[in-house]
């Protein structure tokens, strides 16, 4: 038997005009090293502000719900899902996106490692993976491949490039460890250690 159904949630409020869209708010952020002043609605996510207002489309929208990690950026060096924060909440903070990782023509070591290890196919989750990997190494919690897998599991890759992603991150992690050792050794020498 057929029965009419309605969107009950709206109920009698139907007759009332809806609240108007919110006014724009001025926000100043440091984006990839440069200060930017934006006029955004309070309901605009950092992700949409980046993609639509700043034309920084390297940061991807994969779900808009914090479930896939494609929108990962670094805020004051920490990795966050830019779809889960509003642009107005980041006033005064430093945001690094995928576009801000390379130094001129020189790719960031993580970007180079991703190319070398073929750590992507379609490339859509890639900026988020790379920003997340850079942030993860900064956290200093990963020592094994299993750690990398666990700490990178917030970044989905539908092409299934995971083993190559782990290999790429491993390479950068090992290179950083070697560099750190070299720096430590130098420091020890300077301090007048055994020579």
Partner 1 sequence: MIAKPTIPDLLDQSPDRPGAQIGKPVSRVDGRLKVTGAAKYAAEFNTPGLVHGYILSSAVARGRILRMDTARALALPGVLQVFTHENRPSLPWFDRRWKDDDAPKGSPFRPLYDATIHHALQPIALVVAESFELARYAARLIHVEYEADPHQTDLQAASAAAFTPGKDKGGFEPPPKPRGDADRALAEAEVSVDLEFTQAVEHHNPMEMHASTVVYHNDGTLTVHDKTQGPLNTQTYVCNVFGLPKEAVRVISPFVGGAFGSGLRPQHQLFMAMLAATTLKRSVRVELSRPQMFSFGHRPETLQRVALGARKDGTLTAIIHEAVQETSQTENYVEVVVNWSGQQYKCDNVRLDYKLARMDTHTPLDQRAPGAATGVPALEIAMDELAARLGMDPLELRLRNYTEIDPNTGKPFSSKELRACFRQGAERFGWSRRNPVPRSMRQGRQLIGWGMATGVWDAMQGQASARARLGIDGTLTVGSATADIGPGTYTAMTQIAADVLGLPLDKVSFQLGDSNLPMAPLQGGSWTVSSVGSAVKAVCDRLRERLAKLATGLNDGPLKGLKAGDLDFAGGFLVARSDPSWRLSITEVMRANDLLVLEEEALSVPYYKAQMQHKAGTHSAVFAEVRVDEDLGTVQVTRVVSAVAAGRIINPKTARSQVMGAVVWGLGMALEEETMTDQRLGRFMNHDFAEYHIPVNADVHDIDVIFVEEHDEVVNPLGAKGVGEIGIVGVPAAIANAIYHATGKRICDLPITADKILEG
Residues 17-76 close enough to bind partner 1 by CB under 8 A: 17-18, 20-21, 41, 43-44, 48, 51-52, 55-65, 67-68, 70
Cβ nearer to partner 1, comparing 160 with 192 = 160
Whole-angstrom distance, CA of residue 28 vs CA of residue 35: 7
The reply to whether 127 sits near partner 1 by the rule CB under 8 A is yes
The reply to whether 6 sits near partner 1 by the rule CB under 8 A is yes
Of 87-95, 96-104, 174-182, 186-194: span binding partner 1 (CB under 8 A): 96-104
Listing from the earlier edge strand, what are the strands of the sheet with 94-96? 34-40, 25-31, 94-96, 72-75, 78-81
Show Cβ contacts of residue 21 under 8 Å, excluding neighbours closer than 6 positions.
41
Cβ nearer to partner 1, comparing 10 with 177 = 10
Q: How far is the CB of 179 from partner 1 (least distance, A)?
A: 21
Member of 25, 124, 170, 176 binding partner 1 (CB under 8 A): 124
Q: How far is the CB of 1 from partner 1 (least distance, A)?
A: 8
Tell me the site size for partner 1, rule CB under 8 A: 73
Beta strands, E only, 32-83 = 34-40, 72-75, 78-81
Cβ nearer to partner 1, comparing 29 with 72 = 72
Q: How far is the CB of 76 from partner 1 (least distance, A)?
A: 20
- Backbone CA torsion sign across 118, 121, 125, 126: positive
Whole-angstrom distance, CA of residue 173 vs CA of residue 169: 6
Of 88-96, 157-165, 170-178, 186-194: span binding partner 1 (CB under 8 A): 157-165
Cβ nearer to partner 1, comparing 29 with 62 = 62
Of 88-96, 113-121, 170-178, 182-190: span binding partner 1 (CB under 8 A): 113-121
Nearest CA among 96, 68, 93, 98 for reference residue 83: 68
Residue 13, phi then psi, degrees to nearest 5: -60, -15
Whole-angstrom distance, CA of residue 13 vs CA of residue 16: 5
């Amino acid at each position: 038997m057929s029965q009419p159904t309605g969107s009950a949630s709206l109920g009698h409020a139907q007759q009332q005009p809806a609240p108007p869209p919110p006014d724009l708010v001025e926000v100043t952020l440091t984006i990839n090293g440069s200060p930017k002043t934006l006029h955004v609605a309070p309901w605009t996510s950092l992700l949409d502000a980046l993609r639509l207002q700043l034309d920084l489309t390297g940061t991807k929208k994969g779900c808009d719900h914090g479930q896939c990690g494609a929108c990962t950026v670094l805020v004051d060096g920490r990795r966050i899902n830019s779809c889960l924060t509003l642009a107005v909440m980041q006033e005064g903070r430093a945001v690094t996106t995928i576009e801000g990782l390379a130094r001129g023509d020189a790719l960031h070591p993580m970007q180079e490692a991703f190319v070398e290890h073929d750590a992507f196919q379609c490339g859509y989750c890639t900026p988020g993976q790379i920003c997340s990997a850079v942030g993860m190494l900064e956290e200093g919690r990963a020592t094994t491949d299993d750690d990398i897998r666990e700490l990178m599991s917030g970044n989905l890759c539908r092409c299934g490039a995971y083993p190559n992603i782990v290999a790429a991150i491993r390479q950068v992690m090992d290179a950083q460890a070697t560099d750190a050792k070299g720096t430590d050794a130098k420091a020890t020498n300077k301090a007048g250690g055994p020579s």
